[in-house]
Amino acid sequence: MTHKRTGFTLVELLVVIAIIGVLIALLLPAVQQAREAARRMTCSNHQKQLGLALHNYHDTHLVFPPGVFCDGLNDQLNSPPHSMSWMPVILPFLEQTALHAQLKPLMESMNSNAFPSDLMNTKIETLMCPSDPNRGQTGEVHGVGPPVPDFNDGFHGNYLLCNGNEEITTTTDNNASGMFYYLSKTDFAACTDGTANTVMAAEILLVPSNVSGARDWRGRYYRADHLSSIVSTRLPPNTTASDKMRTCQGSPNSPTYAPCTPDTNTQVIYARSQHPGGVMITLMDASVQFVSETVNTQTWQDLGTRSGGEVPGDY
């Protein structure tokens, strides 16, 4: 009597498992690419909204906001809104009218260091790149002392405005080559290189500020006296060279590598992203472009200036 076989042999089962494994291995990169494409599109949309918000601010005030309002290292400790960046004043144009309404009287009466933590820590989705796993960093209250009470770093964002193509200092550089810098008051007329040839904003990678009690100021909007809210085109996107910031951290062992060297004299933040091969930028005409990390250094530097007279090459 013969018996009809109803199951799989071990060899057949192993073959099926191997085939499934190969199919998953082929499918996974495609899924990851599709997800990154969606994240990159969202990042592009966010930067577009930022560009339009700055245009609307200019239409209202006939000037762009300063890259940084005041320098806390000089004699302006009692001059509101001490150390604040460009970000809080454009909130109404980023559909954050309620937050701006709460902050506005504080901007007129106190140093931004002393803004309430719950307001400063409000995360603004439009200023966050979904490709950065560290997006949405907020700072912890870290001590008490004059001239203000509890200092709080507040919300950190992925998008910074361009100061030009140089390193800058926190105490003297109030006329950098780009559109946004310490106490800048530029308008469209200042952009003689052309709005389609000048960088308005670029993205950076954020680093957690609570590792081993350390802090990282890059992307900090409310306490920007150390120029943590502006980015430079001195070196191409995703450079392996270190940023320079008074207080920062960045480990080469991190999957989101954003190296930084603490420096009390000079400051520079370079454009970086988790988008494969480059970064997204917003030009002064509010258009958004992807720039390869292999872009010619001179071309990238030319894009950072507002009135250098250069004609940037292809990118």
pLDDT of residue 258: 86
pLDDT > 60? residue 177: yes
CA–CA distance, 74 with 52 (Å, rounded to integer): 33
pLDDT of residue 238: 94
Q: What letters, b where the CB count within 10 A reaches 16 and e where it falls short, cover 38-65?
A: ebbeebbebbbbbbebbbebbeeeeebb
* CA gyration radius, the chain: 23
Lowest mean pLDDT among 97-111, 170-184, 272-286: 170-184
**How high does pLDDT run on average in the chain?**
83
Contacts of 44 (CB under 8 A, 6+ apart): 280, 288
In the chain, where are the structural domains located? Answer: 36-304
pLDDT of residue 117: 82
Residue with more model confidence, 117 or 163: 163
pLDDT of residue 182: 85
Residue with more model confidence, 211 or 52: 52
Q: Which residues pair with 66 in a beta bridge?
A: none
Q: What band does 7 get if pLDDT is binned at 50, 70 and 90?
A: low
E strand map for the chain: 141-145, 148-152, 159-164, 199-203, 230-232, 243-245, 260-262, 278-283, 288-292
pLDDT tens, position by position, 30-59: 656 678 788 899 999 999 999 999 999 999
pLDDT of residue 186: 94
Whole-structure pTM value: 0.84
Lowest mean pLDDT among 19-33, 54-68, 197-211: 19-33
